[in-house]
Structure 1
Amino acid sequence: MLQSHSHSQHDPQDLKFTNLHFFLHEARAGNNTTVAMIARSNVTVDVDNSSMPYGTVYAIDDQLRVGPELDSELIGNAPGLVVLIAGRNTPLSVLLYLDLGFTTGKFNGSSISVLSRNPTTDMQLELSVVGGRGKFRMAKGFAHLKVYSENATALIAELNVTIIHYRGRSEF
């Protein structure tokens, strides 16, 4: 028999607010690309005449850096999936899942999971923080992603992340 126990008391001191600011670097061409198409729909009608048709799925493993410069400090990576979707009478949108994982500093070994859908034409995205691990255990919040620069070979996006998360016993 499956047993369950619930605990409804919450100590406000166990919750922590964290604001983070960093840049996502995506290489779309060259020897060190961080994005790869893994599936493409065989649908012959292209929604909005996009160069990235509906149903295309990309795997990514972008770099997280302190600044927009290519030589700024590397602080982690962002593996995830990008799916191009559309509905009836809706514009082409991107469904984005990223695991923002940190590999240096006080958040080393921790990550934040984001998941959201936004129109492909938006240069600023609001992403939902849906979880985390390590120091970001049980994270909830939002991330603003703003395209800093983009061309055919690279994308640099600025991220401002606001999260509420559980401190966890390891931080006491």
Structure 2
Amino acid sequence: MEKKSILLGLGLFLCSITIQVNSEYHSERSIHSLHLKEKVTRLHFYIFDILSGNKPTAVEVAHPNITVGPKATPFGHVYAIDDPLREGPNESSKLIGNAQGLYLSSSQSENLTIVMYADFGFTTGKFKGSSISVFSRNPVSEPIRELAVVGGRGKFRLARGFAQVKTHFFDYKNGDAILEYNVTLLHY
């Protein structure tokens, strides 16, 4: 019994010994201590969201097994996108990047609303290799809507801001759309 008590005491003693470790998991430094200057950048481009034809840029990847809500606004349908970004509203306009992500038809009413996550990647110009991330509710039936920019990478690292979106063209028969984006970003 005495041996067990000694071993138990020795075990507790060894467990209570602490060793000072020279590491840092968390720091209270602010972004300002990094001497980064916040910038404002404004972007203007058009996104081509094409659901029709031989090479669509948006495709349905999931839908519910039941019919809910109006037929024109298919509640619960999920689309994957790889939409081209262009300088102007014509197909011949210069290609400047693409938007990749998902959107979900999220409204049960007549007013089409989607929830959208997309990464807008730029492939030319001074922002080549950079992108902004949008995650927001998009009430499509409103003439001008505002989406949240929640991040970015490359030259848009730590970005935040908003995008004002207007529908430039919409084909009610096949769902094809050209959307005008005016984006205001705060970033470092």
Q: TM-score range by the shorter chain?
A: 0.7 to 0.9
Partner SS, residue 25 of structure 2: coil
Bigger RCO (CA 8 Å, 6+ sep) = 1
In the alignment, structure 1 residue 6 sits paired with structure 2 residue 66: no
Structure-2 residue corresponding to 1:144: 164
Structure-2 residue corresponding to 1:31: 54
In the alignment, structure 1 residue 158 sits paired with structure 2 residue 180: yes
Q: Which structure: greater strand fraction?
A: 1
Distance in 2 of aligned mates of 1:6 and 1:31: 54
The amino acid of 1:54's aligned partner reads F
Distance in 2 of aligned mates of 1:97 and 1:2: 34
Distance in 1 of aligned mates of 2:143 and 2:101: 19
- CA drift at 1:2: 7.3
Deviations 1:3-30 (Å, cap 9, x if unpaired)? 2112125168611000011111122211
Sequence identity, in percent?
Answer: 47
In the alignment, structure 1 residue 75 sits paired with structure 2 residue 96: yes
The amino acid of 2:138's aligned partner reads N
Count of residues in correspondence between the two structures: 163
In the alignment, structure 1 residue 60 sits paired with structure 2 residue 81: yes
State the TM-score, normalizing by the size of structure 1: 0.86
Structure-2 residue corresponding to 1:107: 127
In the alignment, structure 1 residue 21 sits paired with structure 2 residue 44: yes
Partner SS, residue 6 of structure 1: coil
Deviations 1:88-119 (Å, cap 9, x if unpaired)? x8965210111110000000000000111133
Distance in 2 of aligned mates of 1:69 and 1:111: 22
Change (3 A) 1:157 1:92: closer
Partner SS, residue 10 of structure 1: helix
5+ residue gaps, structure 1, are 167-172
Deviations 1:115-145 (Å, cap 9, x if unpaired)? 1113342232211000000000000000011
Distance in 2 of aligned mates of 1:80 and 1:29: 18
Partner SS, residue 14 of structure 1: coil
Q: Which structure: greater helix fraction?
A: 2
Change (3 A) 1:90 1:110: same
Distance in 2 of aligned mates of 1:165 and 1:9: 11
Distance in 2 of aligned mates of 1:27 and 1:92: 17
The answer on whether the counterparts of 2:73 and 2:107 sit within 8 Å (CA) in structure 1 is no
5+ residue gaps, structure 2, are 1-22
Distance in 1 of aligned mates of 2:104 and 2:91: 26
